[in-house]
Amino acid sequence: MSATTKGSQRSLRAPVRLSFVATTCPEGMHIVEPEAQSLPANASFMEQQLAKSPGPVLRFKSDRIEKGMLSYAALDDLVSVRFANVREGDLDGLFRFLRRFGQVHPTVDKVDVVWRLQGHILVLVAGLLGFQGKRSREDPDRAKLPDLVAQLEKFPPLSKLILEEGVPVGWNIECRNLYQFMQMEVLLAHWDGARAHQCHHCLDIFVVGRGSGRSKKAIFCSDKCRQAAFRRRNKSAK
């Protein structure tokens, strides 16, 4: 059987595991004005630039920090798609995301930069999973896609063999931050043949097809939205 036949595709990619240890706070995060901080003498160019541009930053609400392992296991609930679904400027939506998944990047904590990263993930989802829909107001700039993919090459994730009694049984891709985890997640979903649609009711993006538990023709993200759209149609028909 050829290695590219459909049935064997999944088992070909199966030994590759994507993981990231997320840092979260049960109280979530909030926005604070940055405290003046003195940079260490060996601060990187990036750190110096970030320190120069003032602006509110995101901080955990308390010292209660928890660690949790994220992995790429199912297409029906991707962290990247959740992030892409936060509407630009919707701070409550952003805080809900951060409370669950923690900081997007440990050194990039400026609010406007986090929004920029959110826009990047939206472009990756649109460019690689190809959703089409009515999000015209915030239609992502797909011309940015090559640059965003190149980022991964410049700052690749760590990776190592998974050994069991000396036998390699897989390859673990260990992401350095949540942003990178989401980038890699979209890439793996793309290689897994995932496609994305936009819900005709709530306008959220969702993955359809094999491995997602949703039909390739699905136009609603959930039963809740299907029923709500049905009720709305009935109402307007009366």
Q: Which is nearer to Zn ion, 84 or 117 (CB)?
A: 84
Q: Which two tokens stand for residue 231?
A: 């009720």
- For Zn ion, the closer of residues 82 and 201 by Cβ is 201
The candidate with the shortest Cα–Cα distance to 172, out of 18, 22, 69, 14, is: 18
Told to check if 135 binds Zn ion by CB under 5 A, we report no
Q: CB-wise, 22 or 194, nearer to Zn ion? A: 194
> With binding defined as CB under 5 A, does residue 16 bind Zn ion?
no
CB of 201 to Zn ion, least distance (A): 5
Residue 81 contacts Zn ion per CB under 5 A: no
C-alpha dihedral, 198 to 204 to 210 to 211, nearest 10°: 170
Binding footprint of Zn ion, residue count (CB under 5 A):
6
Task: List phi, psi (to 5°) of 206.
Answer: -145, 155
Cross-strand partners of 16: 171
Task: Give yes or no for residue 51 binding Zn ion (CB under 5 A).
Answer: no
Category of 178 on φ-ψ map: left (φ > 0), alpha (ψ -120 to 50) or beta? alpha
Nearest distance, CB of residue 221 and Zn ion, angstroms: 4
Cβ 225 to Zn ion shortest distance, Å: 3
User: With binding defined as CB under 5 A, does residue 120 bind Zn ion?
Assistant: no
> Which pairs with CB-CB distance under 8 Å and at least 24 residues apart come from 199-202?
199/225, 200/225, 200/229, 201/225, 201/226, 201/228, 201/229, 201/232
Minimum Å distance from CB 141 to Zn ion? 24
Q: Which two tokens stand for residue 201?
A: 């009711």
Q: Pick the binder of Zn ion from 125, 128, 186, 225 (CB under 5 A).
A: 225
Distance, CA of 35 to CA of 51 (rounded, Å): 10
Site for Zn ion in 164-203 (CB under 5 A): 199, 201-202
Minimum CB distance to Zn ion smaller for 135 or for 201? 201
Query: Which residues here bind Zn ion, judged by CB under 5 A?
Result: 199, 201-202, 204, 221, 225
